[in-house]
Amino acid sequence: MPSIIYEIEDSCLELIKGDITTQKTDAIVNAANKALSPGGGVSGAIHRAAGPNLREECRTLGGCKTGEAKISKGYHLPAKYVIHTVGPVYGESPDDELCLSNSYKNSLYKASKNNIKSISFPSISTGIFGYPVKEASEVALNTIIDYLRKHPGIKLVRMVLHSDEDLQTYKSTLEKILNSPGQQ
């Protein structure tokens, strides 16, 4: 499936299937753990591709609470920065939706603060943390669209999905959001 690009005000929201570690955006987002240690999933892949200096810098960042975001350099990655955020473990608290939304919002806020113009996200919490992809896609895309409408500085947000199925789910959700009353 080719990449899908939607215009939101003066910014682009792109959905692709791919590997986040190869993205040439200014920043990529890591679905991290609270200790900011490499772990598995997308986080393990990002740490392997960035090299050991990323782990060293992460040790100095003081961990990360659920919904917060921290920033580091990208080292051997094509991206200059990695923004680390910890999504919710699905079902652990009644605030899952708010926590997941905060992960996206605080990552974007960190990007704005650092003059980052393009950023790639993985589907936070939908792997090891067990958040159902459809529900997560609604939170992710609504939060990103809302942010782009209020903050014109970020020109490209790319959602990098790891499977055709996840890409299709995000695409369906995005079309539903953009076609819903009040969105035109």
Residues 80-99, one symbol each (x = binds ligand AR6 by CB under 6 A, - = not), give -------x------------
3-state class (DSSP) for residue 91: coil
Q: What are phi and psi of 39, to 5 degrees?
A: 60, -160
Q: Which conformational region is residue 67 in: left (phi greater than 0), alpha (psi within -120 to 50 degrees), or beta?
A: left
**Span of 40-48, 68-76, 143-151, 169-177 interacting with ligand AR6 by CB under 6 A:** 40-48
**Selection from 70, 59, 66, 67 nearest residue 27 by Cα:** 70
Distance CA 158, CA 125 (A): 17
b/e string for 73-107 if b means 16 or more Cβ within 10 A? Answer: ebbebebebbbbbbbbebeeeeebbebbbbbbbbb
* 45 or 177: CB nearest ligand AR6: 45
CA dihedral 99→104→109→114, nearest 10 degrees, is 130
Measured in whole angstroms, the distance separating CA 7 from the mean position of its chain's CA atoms is 18
By CB under 6 A, is residue 107 in contact with ligand AR6?
Answer: no
Binding mask 120-159 for ligand AR6 (x = CB under 6 A): --xxxxxxxx------------------------------
Based on CB atoms, which residue is closest to ligand AR6, 152 or 172? 172
Q: How far is the CB of 80 from ligand AR6 (least distance, A)?
A: 18
Smallest distance, Å, CB 180 to ligand AR6? 25
In the complex, minimum distance from the CB of residue 57 to ligand AR6, in angstroms, rounded to a whole number: 16
Angstrom distance (rounded) from CA 105 to CA 179: 23
Query: Which one of residues 41, 54, 140, 173 is an interface residue with ligand AR6 (CB under 6 A)?
Result: 41
List the one residue from 40, 51, 91, 152 that touches ligand AR6 (CB under 6 A).
Answer: 40
- Quote the least distance from Cβ 73 to ligand AR6, whole Å: 19
Which residues are near ligand AR6 by CB under 6 A?
19-21, 31-33, 39-43, 45, 87, 122-129, 160, 162, 166
